Amino acid sequence: MADPRIVPDPRIVIVGAGPAGVRAAETLVAAGVRPIVIDEGGRDGGQIYRRQPEGFRRSYASLYGSEAGRAEDLHRSFEALRDRIDYRPETLAWGIWEKQLHLLQGSRTSEVDFDALIIASGATDRLMPVRGWNRAGVYSLGAAQLALKSQASAIGSRVVFMGSGPLLYLVAAQYSKAGAKVAAVLDTSSFWLRVKALPRLIARPDVLLKGLALTWKLRRARTEIETGITPVEIEGQPETGVETIRFRTNKGQERTVACDAVALGYHLRPEAQLADLARCEFRFDVQTRQFFPVKDTDGRSSVAGIYLAGDGALTLGADAAEASGHLAALAVLTDLGRQVATRDVGRLRRRLRAFERFRRGIADAFPWPASAAAAFSEDTVVCRCENITAGELRAAVTTGSVELNHAKAFSRVGMGRCQGRYCGHAAAEVIAASAGVSIETVGRIRGQPPVKPFVIGAESDAKEGA
Amino acid sequence: MTSSESGRFRRVGEQDRPRLVFSIDGQPAEGCKGDTLLVAMLTQIRHLRSSEFGDGDRAGFCLMGACQDCWVWTDTGERLRACTTPLAAGMCIATKAPEQAWPTLA
Ligand SMILES: Cc1cc2nc3c(=O)[nH]c(=O)nc-3n(C[C@H](O)[C@H](O)[C@H](O)COP(=O)(O)OP(=O)(O)OC[C@H]3O[C@@H](n4cnc5c(N)ncnc54)[C@H](O)[C@@H]3O)c2cc1C
Ligand code: FES
């Protein structure tokens, strides 16, 4: 008997060829489906397992360190899939209209219809501004890592790493190992929070040990590490950029460190614009003070036919991204009436629960420094695209804007080139503190098509699909 | 060597790649095959463009195509995102938008 739900030749599209997207594609191929895999990048691997350009010779071990085996495994898996998927690199998915995805390749636009869409779009750095972060030489932490991993370059000659989270220590250690000068690691979280978070961090003992080893390596290289600091200012000149960083130590003393580059980051935030355009519901996460798209454990969003996997849905890290990509593809297959092994589903769900417990531990140990936003001086630039200061944003609150998209219309915060990716969370904190309302009420910046600006005049092209 | 002392970025490996010659604001410059335009430029000079809001020079921010702080221009006026554009031999790059580069004849 044919199952009425069975779609004979389902059209399944995956956005993202990182750990989540690759494992989703693999699962679909194993079930006899040929998915379309779209990625903006020229090569597969996503952020963490990003491949270096052709002609670079560094080994897996030197490039990916303790994750070399996982990176190689993911790349091999993808290579094995190449003939059995419709892979479209250098293609941006820029909009969604009902069951149609809008693409841009070079200057060519096209559309593709889908029965199911798996969004595995990954994350970008979560940023808390600091006075002077608009100076040349200040980069996101992820940028510092990309310069090293995919271009064998350091962002400067004396680099300060400031922010919080495991990635701060990881990237600093990678710089140190590559022979770049790490001027200091300045962590806004206090050391004691880490100790207090141990019961949750133990959920992934291997990762915990790797984290401890990193700190130990940095200390052995005599890198200055300060915890519990308060950033004050990145000082320098408009023409030449960063010269020093000023901060308060955990004992309240003000200090400066000379540097020509700063890598800044506080964990990651999901790239959830596509989920937004698909009209998925979002939920507020009290602990990390941000919104995540709603999904069930298996990856079903609140909208039928839209599935979410990897860091683009919930920032659980690379191993979880692989598990959630696998699980989302199984959910797609189940919903299309295919048989899937329930044993796999149970195992993957259990793994994701452990990852979630660990994520909460990390968020306890390295909290988002929400109160910094309330303390911004009036002239601190919050939006570095349009040079909008905390003072201007607070003025918008005085005129009655206590919802982020409303404040955006009045102050232009979040309307610039990055579309609020890097200022959105901090702007919400400034508004909440200034208006005396909860951050949840302030809301979040809505995703808008195109999810990234592109050159006007892109030619339109034929529509594909049934 | 293509990491010049006046540049912002420092090469820490993969230095034996073929050299590619290009130009920045009319000055000759050299990068390596496999460089992004951003890295090729920032190993030579300290900025990519100036902020249109007058707060100084900019040198990119995210390196992953998300912030758009790395826009530069070709001599024909085409806008490029330096962090996701591979360097090609003979590129003529301007750090100012075409309309900014020419004085208005009013
Ligand atoms: C810069 C950076 C560095 C990181 N480094 C580490 C690290 O060293 N160690 C660690 O444990 N974790 C790291 N992380 C976290 C790590 O990225 C994730 O845990 C892991 O890569 C998540 O896998 P994913 O498949 O969910 O997303 P990703 O690996 O980010 O892959 C998402 C893919 O989707 C593509 N994409 C996104 N939006 C679109 C669109 N609209 N159209 C087309 N394609 C799109 C992207 O090009 C990307 O290839 C890093 C994150 C970032 C942002
Ligand atoms: S540096 Fe952010 S888009 Fe290029």
The pLDDT tens digits for A69-108 are: 999 999 999 999 999 999 999 999 999 999 999 999 988 9
Q: How many CA atoms does the CB half-sphere of A106 hold within 13 Å? A: 4
Let me know if A182 is exposed, middle or buried by CB neighbors in 10 A (0-12, 13-18, 19+). Answer: buried
Confidence of residue A423 (pLDDT cuts 50, 70, 90): very high
In angstroms, how far is CA A82 from the centroid of its own chain?
A: 26
Residue-wise pLDDT tens digits, A163-178: 999 999 999 999 999 9
Q: State both tokens at A295.
A: 């999904």
**Closest C-alpha to A438, from A464, A404, A412, A414:** A404
For chains A and B, CB pairs below 8 A equal 136
Tell me if A133 sits within 8 A of A162, measured CB to CB. no
pLDDT class of A187 with cuts at 50, 70, 90: very high
Q: List the single residue in A with minimal CA-CA distance to B8.
A: A156
pLDDT at A399: 80
The answer for residues whose C-beta is within 8 angstroms of residue A345's C-beta and 6 or more apart is A298, A327, A330
Nearest atom in ligand 1 to the alpha carbon of residue A41 is: 47
pLDDT of residue A453: 82
From the list B12, B58, B86, the residue facing A180 with the nearest CB is B12
Spell out the domains of chain A, with CATH numbers in brackets.
12-124+269-362 (3.50.50.60), 129-266 (3.50.50.60), 371-442 (1.10.10.1100)
* Closest alpha carbon to A241 in B57, B50, B82: B57
Q: Is A237 on the interface with B (CB under 8 A)?
A: yes
Cβ-nearest to B34 among A56, A134, A148: A56
The reply to whether residue B34 touches residue A147, judged by beta carbons under 8 angstroms, is no
Burial A67-82 (b: 16+ CB within 10 A, else e): beebbbebbebbeebe
Contact predicate A41/A18, CB 8 Å: no
Tell if the CB–CB gap between B64 and A137 is shorter than 8 Å.
no
Per-residue pLDDT tens digits for A103-149 = 999 889 999 999 999 999 999 999 999 999 999 999 999 999 999 99
Mean pLDDT of chain B: 89
Strand order in B27-32's β-sheet?
A: B27-32, B19-24, B92-94, B71-74, B79-81
Centre of ligand 1 to C-alpha A268, Å, is 10
What is the distance between the alpha carbons of residues A134 and B54, in angstroms, rounded to a whole number?
A: 11
Q: Supply the residue whose CA is at minimum distance from atom 53 of ligand 1.
A: A124
Confidence of residue B3 (pLDDT cuts 50, 70, 90): low
DSSP A423: T
Length of chain A measured in residues: 466
The radius of gyration computed from the CA coordinates of chain B, to the nearest angstrom, equals: 14
User: Could you check whether the bond before residue A450 is cis, i.e. omega within 30 degrees of 0?
Assistant: yes
- A453 to chain B, any CB pair closer than 8 A? The answer is yes
B8–A155 CB contact, under 8 Å: yes
* A219-249 burial: b if 16+ Cβ within 10 Å, else e: eeeebebbbbbbbbbbbbeeebbbbbbbbee
Which residues have a Cβ under 8 Å from the Cβ of A109 and sit 6 or more positions away?
A102, A103, A458, A459, A460, A461
A364 neighbors A193 (Cβ within 8 angstroms) = yes
Q: Which-ligand-closest: CA of A143?
A: 1
How close A54 comes to chain B (CA, Å)? 7
Q: Tell me how far apart the alpha carbons of residues A226 and A254 are, in angstroms, rounded to a whole number.
A: 12
A381 at B interface, C-beta within 8 A: yes
Q: Say how many Å lie between the CA of residue A201 and the centre of ligand 2.
A: 33
Please list the residues that pair with A14 across neighbouring strands: A37, A118
Residues of chain B with C-beta less than 8 angstroms from the C-beta of A424 = none
Shortest Cα–Cα distance, B104 to chain A (Å): 24
Supply the mean pLDDT for chain A.
93
B69 lines ligand 2 (CB under 6 A): yes
Locate tokens 């002392």: which residue?
B5
pLDDT in tens, A310-335: 999 999 999 999 999 999 999 999 99
Do strands A261-266 and A254-258 pair parallel, antiparallel, or not at all (unpaired)? Answer: unpaired
Whether chain B has a CB inside 8 Å of the CB on A108: the answer is no
Complex prediction ipTM: 0.92
Distance A373 CA to ligand 1 centre (A): 27
Percent of chain A's residues with pLDDT above 90 = 84
Higher pLDDT, A93 or A406: A93
Which ligand is the nearest neighbour of the Cα of A104?
1
pTM, two decimals, is 0.94
Would you say residue A458 has pLDDT above 70? no
Q: Best of A22, A51, A75, A121 to mutate for ligand 1, by most ligand atoms within 8 A of CB?
A: A121
Which segment of A225-234, A445-454, B28-37 scores lowest on mean pLDDT? A445-454
Instruction: Work out which ligand 1 atom sits closest to the CA atom of A141.
Output: 1
Alpha-carbon gap, residue B42 to B82, rounded angstroms: 10
**Cβ neighbours for A139, distance < 8 A, ≥ 6 positions apart:** A147, A155, A261, A262, A263, A264, B60, B61, B62, B63
- The pLDDT tens digits of the residues spanning A342-388 come to 899 999 999 999 999 999 999 999 999 999 999 999 999 999 999 99
Cα separation, A108 vs A384, whole angstroms = 30
